[in-house]
Amino acid sequence: MPPSSLQSARGVRDVLPAERATWELVEGAARRVARAFGYQEIETPIIEPLELVERGVGGDTDVVRKEIYLVHSRAEPDSRLVLRPEATAGVVRAYFQNRLDAGPQPQRLYTLGPMFRHDRPQAGRYRQFHQFDVEAFGSGAAALDAEVIEMAVGWLAELGLTGFVLELNSIGDDACRPAYLELLKAYYRPRKEQLDAECQRRLEVNPLRLLDCKAPRCQPFKAGAPRITDHLCPACGEAFAEVRRLLDAAGVEYRLNPYLVRGLDYYSRTVFEVSHEAVGGAQSSLGGGGRYDGLATALGYPNTPATGFAAGLERVVLALERQRLAPPAPSPAELAVLPDGEGLAVAAARVARIARGSVRVAVDYSGRSLRAKMRAAHRAGYPWVAIMDPAEASREVVQLRHMASGEQREVAWRDLPLALRTPGGPTPSRDASGGVRPAMPTGEARA
C-alpha cells in the first residue's frame, strides 16, 4: 500500500504501460479496419445534455434509469449534463449540428473513447470503459448493416481472436413491431404472476425486453413466446434476408437468435451481438449494434436511416489476454545511455539525441554506480546499452553493448544510428534455433 490511502474511484481502472501495448494493438486494428471500409474518425465531447441521452437511449433502459452520471459544476449546480454512457446519441447530434447531413451520404464515422455507466463493478464491467464505435448515416440499405457486422468481426479476427460468436436478429420496425408486441403481451399476461418483479413491470412498459431477461424464473416462458422473426412485415423480412445473404457471401458465420433484443431502445430491424466465453459470465458481450432508423427523429432531427455498432475495448483486451494473444510488455526504449562518471549529462544527452535518429533512447542520469545502472537497464529490458566514461566522452565514442549476448564494441557517436539500424540492430534477429545471432565482435563489458 502506498503511503497515502487515496485510491481511484470504484469501478475504474488504470491502464499501465505494460498493458498499453495490447491497447495499442486493439486501437490500431480498429482504426485500420474502419479506414479500410471508408470510415472517418470523429470525436465528440464526453459531456452531453441529459436530454440527448434520455431521448436517444430511451427512458426505460437500465442505462437511463440507473446508470447515468450527472455532471454539474459548483458554479452551475443545476446544469443538466451527463457523462456519455455510449457514443451513438452524441454522434447523431454531431452529424446534424455540424451539417454532415448536407454532405455526401452515407456518412461513415467512427470514434474511440471513454464511456461511463454506474453499474456494479465486476471483471469486464467498469464504470468508465472504452468503446470502438462505428456509425453509418443516411442509407437504409441492409447492405450497410452487413458491412458494420463484417467490420466488427473482421477487426476481432485481425486481432487473432477465435471462438467468438455472432448472434443476429431482426426486431422489425414501426410497421410490424406494434402488432408483434401485442402478441407478446397477450402471451405473457396470463403468466404475469410467475415473472419476477422487473419483468412484470417490463410487460407493460417495454415488453420487448422480456426476451432479454436473464432471471431463472422467467426462462421457462421464453421458448413458447411468439418470435418476432415470424411476424416481420415484407420490407423488414426482405431486409433481414438481404443481411443474411451478404454475410453468407462474405463467409461471416452467425447464429440466428430470435430472442436477441438490445439493452438500448433505439433499434429497428437488424440487431446483433458478438460474445466471447473467454470474457465470461454476464459480461461476455464484446460488442453489439444494429440499425436505428428512428433515432434521428426521436431526437428532433430530420428522418435519417442509420446503422452501427460499438465494442468494449476492456473486454477485447481481456479476451486477448485470456487467449494468450496479448503482446509482451515492450522495453521502454531500445537503447539506454549509461554515463559512467561525474559531469557527463550534457554528453549523454547528446549521444541520446544522435541515437534517436534510428531508435528510442533513454538516459540514466542518476548518480548510482555503473554496476547499478547495468542492473537497472537489465531489469527494464533494454536490448542495448551505450556506456561512456569521461575519456570516451572526450573522444566522442561509447561502448555499445548488446545485453542478451554480452557482445560489446566501441562505436563513434556519429555512427550510432547506423550501428543500431544494421542487421543484429536493436531488435536482435534470431537464428533458426531461436538464439541471438552474433552481430558484433566480442569485447569485454566494464560493468
Cis amide linkage into residue 106, ω under 30° from 0? yes
Residue with smaller CB distance to ligand HAM, 188 or 267:
267
Nearest in space to 105 (alpha carbons), one of 134, 139, 151, 140: 139
86 versus 147: smaller Cβ distance to ligand HAM: 86
- Cβ distance 185 to 200 under 8 Å? no
Q: How far is CA 423 from CA 205, 230, 432, 437, 439, in A?
A: 68, 64, 15, 9, 7
Smallest separation, CB 58 to ligand HAM (Å): 11
Minimum distance from CB of 117 to ligand HAM (Å)?
5
Beta strand pairing status for 270-276 and 164-170?
antiparallel
Q: What is the dihedral of CA 190, 191, 193, 198, to 10 degrees?
A: -120
Contacts 24+ apart (CB under 8 A), 47-51: 47/71, 47/81, 47/82, 47/83, 47/84, 48/81, 48/82, 48/84, 48/89, 48/90, 48/93, 49/80, 49/81, 49/82, 50/80, 50/81, 50/82, 51/80
Closest CB to ligand HAM among 86 and 407? 86
Closest approach of ligand HAM to the CB of residue 11, in Å: 8
Q: Which positions touch ligand HAM (CB under 6 A)?
A: 86-88, 117, 119, 125-126, 129, 131, 133, 135, 263-264, 285-289, 292, 308-312, 314-315
C-alpha cell at 33: 479496419
In angstroms, what is the minimal distance from the CB of 376 to ligand HAM? 36
Q: Residue type for 215, please?
A: A
Nearer to ligand HAM, 86 or 334 (CB): 86
Of the two residues 187 and 301, which places its CB atom closer to ligand HAM in the complex?
301
Smallest distance from ligand HAM to CB 29, Å: 16
Q: Which amino acid is at 335?
A: L
The DSSP bridge pattern shows strands 335-339 and 361-363 to be parallel
User: What dihedral angle (degrees, nearest 10) is formed by the CA atoms of 413, 417, 419, 421?
Assistant: 170
* Least distance in angstroms from the C-beta of 230 to ligand HAM: 25
Smallest gap from Cβ 180 to ligand HAM, in A, equals 21
| Closer CB to ligand HAM, 319 or 363, in the complex | 319
Of residues 66 and 430, the one with the C-beta less far from ligand HAM: 66
CA distance linking residue 179 with residue 181, whole number of Å? 5
In the structure grid, which three cell numbers stand for residue 336, read together?
539506454
Residues found in the chain: 447
Of 314 and 334, nearer to ligand HAM (C-beta) is 314
Nearer to ligand HAM, 56 or 426 (CB): 56
- Residue 219 CB, shortest distance to ligand HAM, in Å, is 21
**Closest approach of ligand HAM to the CB of residue 400, in Å:** 46
- Which residue is nearest to ligand HAM, using beta carbons? 312
Residue 57 C-alpha cell reads as: 437511449
CA distance 54 to 57: 6
Cell of 254: 452467425
Tell me whether residue 135 or residue 340 sits nearer to ligand HAM (CB atom): 135
Task: Kindly state the smallest distance separating residue 150's Cβ from ligand HAM, in Å.
Answer: 15
Cell of 69: 452520471
Of the candidates 434, 341, 445, the residue with the CA atom closest to the CA atom of residue 384:
445
Residue at 295: amino acid letter? L
